[in-house]
Structure 1
Amino acid sequence: MATAKPTWQGALDARDDLGQYGDNAIGLFALALRFSVDDIHSVAAESVTDGSDDKKCDLIYIDRDEGVAVVAQCYCSSKQKQGAPANKASDLNTAVAWLMQRPIKELPKRLRSAAKELRSAISDGSIKRFEAWYVHNLPETQNVQDELATVTQTAKSVIAALHSASKVEISSLEIGNARLDDWYQETLSPILVNDEIKIEVESGFTIDTANWKSYVTAIPARVLHRLYKSHGTQLFSANVRDYLGSRKSDANINNGIKQTVQTAPENFWVFNNGITILTHSFAEGATKNKKTLTLRGISIVNGAQTTGAIGTLPKAPSGGLVPARVVSTADNDLVYDIIQYNNSQNKVTASDFRSTDRVQKRLRDEVEAIPNAKYEGGRRGGHKDAIQRNKNLMPSYTVGQALAAFHQDPIVAYNSKSDIWVNDQTYARFFNDDTTGAHLVFCYSLLRSVEDAKRSLVAKSKSKELTAQEETLLEYFRQRGSTYLLVSAMAACVETFVGKRIGTNAKVSFGPKTSPTQAGQHWSELVTIVSPFCQQLSDALSDGLKSNERAQKAIGVFRSLVQATASANAESYKRFGKGVTVSR
């Protein structure tokens, strides 16, 4: 019996953790597919608007690291229809206008922080791509696409008025059955560029085995230049890292690649380690006395830096050959082994990739020994994690953000999650010999507890049963970066919570036998106790979470209030302290 083709709807239905978001679940699922989001819940905590007066903005996703912003309207039909209502697509005009045109003070409180951040990110050039999405579970229609064309024009107009010098690529997308299926099917294959590509080569030879087939050759540098100009970073869909860019420095390998291919192309082959290409299949041929190699699909699993350095040259190099081996296999498990081993056999000293770092290896082993905990250490989840969720996984990027926030840098935690892994100095501040697997759980579970507190308030607000104090707390949580700032504030109070001096916060944990879920339960009571003091943190968020000086000042006031009320909460703090260990 033939196996049924997997569908996006089946994958979404299997994500029972997304049900809590209602119709917004489909929008979050689309974000996970499009941007390989491995921790959709942290994204939801910041991106989901939480009330009926949302001015047609269901999701507002801003990622400065990736240079992208998405404003989404979400709709799920319980019945099969020929298409989604077009009026909901036109609602995006309202959303865009409110977010980027109306005076901030006229916006509903739940949108003010997001609107400020979106405008700021566009104005300072952090956002290179703005997308308006209408996400639904029905067939796509021309009527909707006509409405979205108007949304694109509206977005272009308001963004130009916001910052005329800003170069932002603007688009409006209907994301229905067909597009969701395309994005989902892409997650089932690491090869996203599926074109047929014909390359002239001087010579080459084939190696054929039972499980894989390979062709070893040299590819003209100008071919890589053309491919990169056509496909950009999609060429690296199966790679653990994209092209990192280059600096004008002798120490920078990518700049060296550019210099070599421009000034000494005849020696490029002997200077460069070459690239590994994954393809669906390949075939040899010939045209006019020259050999040709035809690929069906391409992803460069090792050699992103070489390809990117060549591809970003202002014009194609006149010469230069790049050593290359092309690999095809029908064994999916082998595909992922090829990806892994091609990126971990040699020591990686650049700051772009940490999974082979000795600290990450140790942390993976330590977390492995903790009940119901998994940590991949330095690897962003990628395509598979967007749909195949391990409920025990502590996503690497979220762990890094939790560590940064706990160790008193909420600015980096919120604004620079990639920099935690890319920058050597930043990385060493949070991942070092003092950091333990149990400490990762300690920090990560605090962030999760804070996010859960926010989610509970949002859910309660829908029944309009919030107390005045809860309304104030929800107003705090509606500000972007609020969860990371509260984590920093609570971390600054750990000595008060445990009732003793702690030399370094990296040594504190719940011990190696406490699971993340149990750790979250330990934190939960404390989050409830100290959350009334969050109002004292709001000043640090008034113009976005940007000023470390303001953040530390606000945290200082928060800490003083926690200390002043410690005697009233002595029993709760004592219970918490019993579970805490401080390693030597």
Structure 2
Amino acid sequence: MSINIGIIDSRVRKLAGDLAPEFETRLNIKNDEPKKQSAAFVYLVAKTLLDLSEPEALDVLTEGGADFGIDAMHVGDVEDGEFLVTLFQGKYKQNQEGASAFPQGGAEKMVQAIKYLFDPRATITTNAQLTKRVEDVRSLVGDGYIPRVRAVLCNNGIKWDVRAQEVIDAAKFPHDQVTWMYVNHDELVLLMQAAKQVDDTLRLAGKAIVEDLDFYRVLIGKIPVAEVAALFARHGDLLLERNVRRFLGLQSNRVNQRIASTLITPIERGNFYFYNNGITLLCRKFTHNALQADNFQVRVEGLQVINGGQTCKTIEHTMATLAAAEPGIEKAFVLVRLYQLPSDAGDLVRNITYATNSQNPVDLRDLRSNDIRQRNLEAAVADLGYQYRRHRSDTAFKTTDISSATAAEAVLSVWRHRPQQGKFQGREHFDKLYDMIFSDDLNGAQVVIATLLFRIAENKRRRPPAGAPDFVAYGSCFLAMLMGQYLLSDLGLTLAQLNHTKFVDAKAKLEQNEEAYFKKATDAVDAALKKLYGGQTVSLQRLAATFRRGDLIQELGVPA
């Protein structure tokens, strides 16, 4: 048994035990240790690969009977008319030899799933967990949004063989819409490793500018793309601030496709330098031979890529498919900016990262973490007995912990009356919607109460009460919003009056009436749906679309 197989097996067994109640409730897995371990393995892959929280990772699991070969499914936010869907299929072997290839049959199931799941006209039978997600995706497709599919095949063995590859190739999926990815124990261990200091040598080409700015140093030059590929071959994603969630693949991202196309096309390779915005690097220290005129070899300590991660990963993947002696590849360069910053320059690092990545909202939660409003909320929430986590963290959450991402979704849904944006526009929460959500008058009590309301609705979504209507699967943010209105009404308060002095009363009132509030909100939404659709039966696809578009806001009589 390899050490990495042992590491993953240890984690899988622990997760299988810790999450057994969840697996029993969500996936109906009872007294079946192999199935629990299989579910735990898929959970671990999805959580690690997509950088999900524990509740988010549990939510994506769909394993069970009638799962169409899909063990987990994650639907990303809509961006530029497209959305990324990641499908997982896991094969976890009880024997720990690590020599089994991902089976051909697994690839065949994934191919069939992709053929049918994204066709709104196809009739399929799947389990309840998967059906809700499939109909959500189909409603997006019906509204004209384009799905980009990433099929992740994972096991604790080796990659699929040539026969499985033939199955994938024979499917003839559009290369700009479906990409395939393999993950095993070795890749997982690499992703889970704590950030290590990367020390290496950058071999630049041609002239470069080196300048001292106060206590910082700057180097601007160009580096051959072959050197970038070699650098990532040596260190992989340890060079990136975040894991491979930031790399969406060559086929699932149009920018990456253009980067790859330039490298693949011989007559365009020499223009790569002009087509690309370049790479921004940070390091603790860099040294070079200043007596040279050009072609510097720059020794760097503590190297990190803070902007251009997509470019670097695309170069790495594309160069792996090209022959080393490809004509013209030696003329392909990329602009590089290298900043030497002291180890205590944390705020400056975050500000530089924010400024150079502001076009990529998925990362803005971390980049906003040092904002004065986030710091103030951290202190205010702490005074109420809760911990506000403004930084992303790998440590387990307690019931008294509130992440900034959850707070944003809850506040936008409950107090700003934008539940459709709370649920479906997560990329914008720390970008375009940031000032609306985290306004100057938002206080700690409002954040905690909104989060508690949101958690109640989300728990009902994950574990619907007996006889709960279908819309509970899609309308949790709407239900939380209505519950917030009922709570304020019972307290006789406006939102502005809900502060630390009223927090204890508000929390007690919510705990006393949460079931009644949820039932009242469910009845209100049910009545609004019947009014909106004239009492006709509404399909899951239409329900998903209704809550995504916010059609019910006016019917519910909630002020904008």
Q: TM-score, normalised by structure 2?
A: 0.65
* CA pair 339-122 structure 1, distance change in 2 beyond 3 A: farther
* CA pair 139-236 structure 1, distance change in 2 beyond 3 A: closer
* CA pair 123-103 structure 1, distance change in 2 beyond 3 A: closer
Q: Does 1:438 align with 2:445?
A: yes
2:494 pairs with 495, 499, 503, which one? Answer: 503
Shift of 1:40: 3.4
Task: Provide the residue aligned with 2:466 in structure 1.
Answer: 470
1:118 pairs with 127, 137, 146, which one? Answer: 137
| C-alpha distance in structure 2 between counterparts of 1:505 and 1:148, whole Å | 60
1:504 partner letter = L
Shift of 1:106: 4.3
SS of equivalent to 2:339: strand
SS of equivalent to 1:74: strand
Contact 1:221 1:322 in 2 (8 A): yes
SS of equivalent to 2:548: coil
Q: Deviations over 1:518-550 (max 9, x none)?
A: 9985564346544752544666724353322x2
Task: Provide the residue aligned with 2:252 in structure 1.
Answer: none
Task: Provide the residue aligned with 1:388 in structure 2.
Answer: 395
Contact 2:384 2:500 in 1 (8 A): no
2:55 partner letter = H
Q: Does 1:97 align with 2:92?
A: no
Which structure 2 residues correspond to residues 18-97 of structure 1 after superposition, within 5 A?
Answer: 18-19=19-20, 20-21=22-23, 22=36, 23-37=38-52, 39-42=53-56, 44-45=58-59, 47-49=60-62, 52-64=65-77, 67-80=83-96, 82-83=99-100, 86=103, 87-97=105-115
Task: Provide the residue aligned with 1:491 in structure 2.
Answer: 484
Task: Provide the residue aligned with 2:323 in structure 1.
Answer: none
* CA pair 360-297 structure 1, distance change in 2 beyond 3 A: closer
SS of equivalent to 1:413: helix
Contact 2:151 2:180 in 1 (8 A): yes
Q: Deviations over 1:200-230 (max 9, x none)?
A: 4657599xxxxxxx994522257799959x9
Which structure 2 residues correspond to residues 229-244 of structure 1 after superposition, within 5 A?
Answer: 237-238=240-241
Shift of 1:152: 6.3
| C-alpha distance in structure 2 between counterparts of 1:65 and 1:519, whole Å | 37
* CA pair 126-393 structure 1, distance change in 2 beyond 3 A: farther
| C-alpha distance in structure 2 between counterparts of 1:284 and 1:519, whole Å | 69
Contact 1:217 1:324 in 2 (8 A): yes
2:221 partner letter = P
| C-alpha distance in structure 2 between counterparts of 1:283 and 1:522, whole Å | 67
CA RMSD of aligned residues (A): 5.3
1:447 partner letter = F
Shift of 1:53: 2.5
Which structure 2 residues correspond to residues 167-246 of structure 1 after superposition, within 5 A?
Answer: 167-173=176-182, 175-185=183-193, 187-189=194-196, 197-200=202-205, 202=208, 216-220=217-221, 237-238=240-241
Any gaps of 5 or more consecutive residues in structure 1? 161-165, 207-213, 244-260, 263-273, 329-333, 458-468, 560-584
Contact 2:457 2:480 in 1 (8 A): yes
| C-alpha distance in structure 1 between counterparts of 2:481 and 2:427, whole Å | 19
| C-alpha distance in structure 2 between counterparts of 1:181 and 1:299, whole Å | 19
Contact 1:367 1:438 in 2 (8 A): yes
2:478 partner letter = L
Q: Does 1:365 align with 2:372?
A: no
Contact 1:278 1:299 in 2 (8 A): yes
SS of equivalent to 1:170: strand
Which structure 2 residues correspond to residues 124-135 of structure 1 after superposition, within 5 A?
Answer: 129-135=148-154
* CA pair 365-70 structure 1, distance change in 2 beyond 3 A: same
Shift of 1:29: 2.3
1:69 partner letter = V
| C-alpha distance in structure 2 between counterparts of 1:113 and 1:343, whole Å | 38
SS of equivalent to 1:546: helix
1:130 partner letter = V
User: For structure 1, which segment, 338-347 or 448-457, has the greater mean C-alpha deviation from structure 2 after superposition?
Assistant: 338-347
2:463 partner letter = S
2:149 partner letter = F
- Taking only the aligned residue pairs, the percentage that are identical comes to 14
Q: Deviations over 1:345-364 (max 9, x none)?
A: 99979795422332222101
| C-alpha distance in structure 2 between counterparts of 1:239 and 1:319, whole Å | 24
Contact 2:72 2:89 in 1 (8 A): yes
* CA pair 222-182 structure 1, distance change in 2 beyond 3 A: closer
Shift of 1:142: 3.7
Shift of 1:552: 1.0
Task: Provide the residue aligned with 1:525 in structure 2.
Answer: 515
2:453 partner letter = L
Q: Does 1:451 align with 2:458?
A: yes
Task: Provide the residue aligned with 1:543 in structure 2.
Answer: 545
Shift of 1:453: 2.4
User: For structure 1, which segment, 47-56 or 359-368, has the greater mean C-alpha deviation from structure 2 after superposition?
Assistant: 47-56
1:177 partner letter = H
| C-alpha distance in structure 1 between counterparts of 2:111 and 2:4, whole Å | 40
Which structure 2 residues correspond to residues 548-567 of structure 1 after superposition, within 5 A?
Answer: 548=550, 550-553=551-554, 555-556=556-557
SS of equivalent to 1:402: helix
Any gaps of 5 or more consecutive residues in structure 2? 24-35, 248-272, 316-329, 530-537
Contact 2:84 2:149 in 1 (8 A): yes
Q: Does 1:414 align with 2:429?
A: no
| C-alpha distance in structure 1 between counterparts of 2:355 and 2:294, whole Å | 41
* CA pair 89-225 structure 1, distance change in 2 beyond 3 A: closer
Shift of 1:70: 0.8
Shift of 1:415: 1.4
| C-alpha distance in structure 2 between counterparts of 1:396 and 1:146, whole Å | 46
SS of equivalent to 1:68: strand
Which structure 2 residues correspond to residues 252-271 of structure 1 after superposition, within 5 A?
Answer: none
1:354 pairs with 368, 376, 379, which one? Answer: 368
| C-alpha distance in structure 1 between counterparts of 2:499 and 2:305, whole Å | 42
* CA pair 57-235 structure 1, distance change in 2 beyond 3 A: closer
| C-alpha distance in structure 1 between counterparts of 2:124 and 2:333, whole Å | 59
2:88 partner letter = A
Q: Does 1:139 align with 2:160?
A: no
Contact 2:286 2:340 in 1 (8 A): no
Q: Deviations over 1:251-278 (max 9, x none)?
A: xxxxxxxxxx98xxxxxxxxxxx96523
Which structure 2 residues correspond to residues 316-327 of structure 1 after superposition, within 5 A?
Answer: 324-326=338-340
Q: Deviations over 1:372-431 (max 9, x none)?
A: x22233x4x2xxx3x4324343222121111111132111111111211111xx222221
Q: How many residues align?
A: 466
Task: Provide the residue aligned with 1:581 in structure 2.
Answer: none
Q: Deviations over 1:305-341 (max 9, x none)?
A: 9x99xx9xxxx9999997643469xxxxx5xx55554
| C-alpha distance in structure 2 between counterparts of 1:28 and 1:510, whole Å | 41
SS of equivalent to 1:394: strand
User: For structure 1, which segment, 354-363 or 50-59, has the greater mean C-alpha deviation from structure 2 after superposition?
Assistant: 50-59
1:555 partner letter = L
| C-alpha distance in structure 2 between counterparts of 1:127 and 1:552, whole Å | 26
Contact 2:61 2:73 in 1 (8 A): yes
